[in-house]
Structure 1
Amino acid sequence: MSKASEIKAAIKAIVDADPNYPMNVVVQSIEGETCTVKFASGFITSDVRLNATVTDGEDYLLLTPLEGSDVTILSIDGTLSNLVVIKIDQLKKFEFFQSGLKVAFDSEDKKVQIKNEAVNLKDLFSGFADIIKILKVGVLAPNAPSSTVTPDVLTAVEQLEAKINQLLK
């Protein structure tokens, strides 16, 4: 029996699964772009990658599973040192970052983040709320109807509109 066959047989005995096939495991903890998982046999291993490759690049898609949830993993080379998550049953966090645009959904704090290199959606809505709080219109005479908004409010609205156009289609 070759060394590779011996390793595969040992892994199969330890984890009670064939390393050449997808294996269902439970997520124990998350460590950045990797996680620690527990096999049905009770065997625990760490450094299971959440993506096929771990890079420090600026463009990525990262799906982070919920601790305690089931995931399906696969060994890239038949060893325990090269495992990667291929399916997630419960999602804790979704992060997409491409060419300066970031979209993140976080079920832990129940918030969404959308931003690009120039502006983020939260700041836009905060700016809108600030404008509403200071909204003023000119009054021509007592008991007369209001006229247009004052120049400072108009400037604030135009700045907000420009930022919205930088972020949203």
Structure 2
Amino acid sequence: MESFFQAVSTIAAKAQPIMGYSSLGVVSEITGMTCTVERDGLPPLFDVRLNAIDQSFDDMFLIIPVIGSQVLCLVVENQKAETAIVKYTEVEKVIITIGGARFEMSAGKFDFKNDQSDLKKILTETLDQLKDAIITTPSGPGQFSDPNKLQFEKLKSDTEKLFK
């Protein structure tokens, strides 16, 4: 076991730390998966990554800052080309995609979908069906009362306010 600890100690002694620094600035432009960050008294940072890796993935968590908001950027190994946002003061949009499912939140509304379903569509169509439903009763066909139908319309309106 002692030889294991010696091997780990030898490898750790040879490891080079990743040098870098952080820089505070204001987002001035967003283009795709990157942005430009203006810094007070310093040159702007161009092509700052919104994610650590500058690629689009099927499964991802993406935060898009508000233009004009302050962000904290991490510059890896003192290479301005290796810069990513690590903290945000204001967020415009959050997108999460996992296994074909997508969640998006922006402008105070939500969007929940996958390849086969859309939650807003399911809820609004269900409320429409209830409003127009024919109910079988012992004395013949019936419908929901007018107050019930008004409540279904209110629920549908509230659903549309919540979802994109």
Common fold by TM > 0.5: yes
2:51 is aligned with 1:60:
no
Shift of 1:129: 2.1
1:156 matched residue in structure 2: none
On the 8 A contact 1:24/1:72 being kept in 2, the answer is yes
| Superimposed CA distance per residue, residues 79-100 of structure 1 (whole angstroms, 9 cap, x where no aligned partner) | 2222110111111111110111
List structure 1 runs of 4+ shifted beyond 4 angstroms.
146-149
1:103 matched residue in structure 2: 103
Which one-letter code corresponds to 2:127 in the other structure? A
Shift of 1:40: 0.8
Q: Distance between the aligned counterparts of 2:20 and 2:136, measured in 1?
A: 74
2:132 is aligned with 1:134:
yes
Q: Distance between the aligned counterparts of 1:57 and 1:71, measured in 2?
A: 23
On the 8 A contact 1:140/1:147 being kept in 2, the answer is no
Identity of aligned residues (%): 25
2:49 matched residue in structure 1: 49
1:22 matched residue in structure 2: 22
On the 8 A contact 1:102/1:116 being kept in 2, the answer is yes
Which one-letter code corresponds to 1:41 in the other structure? G
Per the normalisation by structure 2, the TM-score is 0.69
Kindly indicate which of the two structures has a greater share of residues assigned to strand: 2
Per the normalisation by structure 1, the TM-score is 0.67
Q: 1:123 aligns with which of 108, 118, 121?
A: 121
1:76 matched residue in structure 2: 76
Q: Which runs of 5+ in 2 are unaligned?
A: 1-18, 145-164
Q: Which runs of 5+ in 1 are unaligned?
A: 1-18, 150-169
Provide the alpha-carbon RMSD of the alignment.
2.3
DSSP-derived class of the 1:43 partner = strand
1:33 matched residue in structure 2: 33
Shift of 1:68: 0.5
| Aligned residue pairs, count | 126
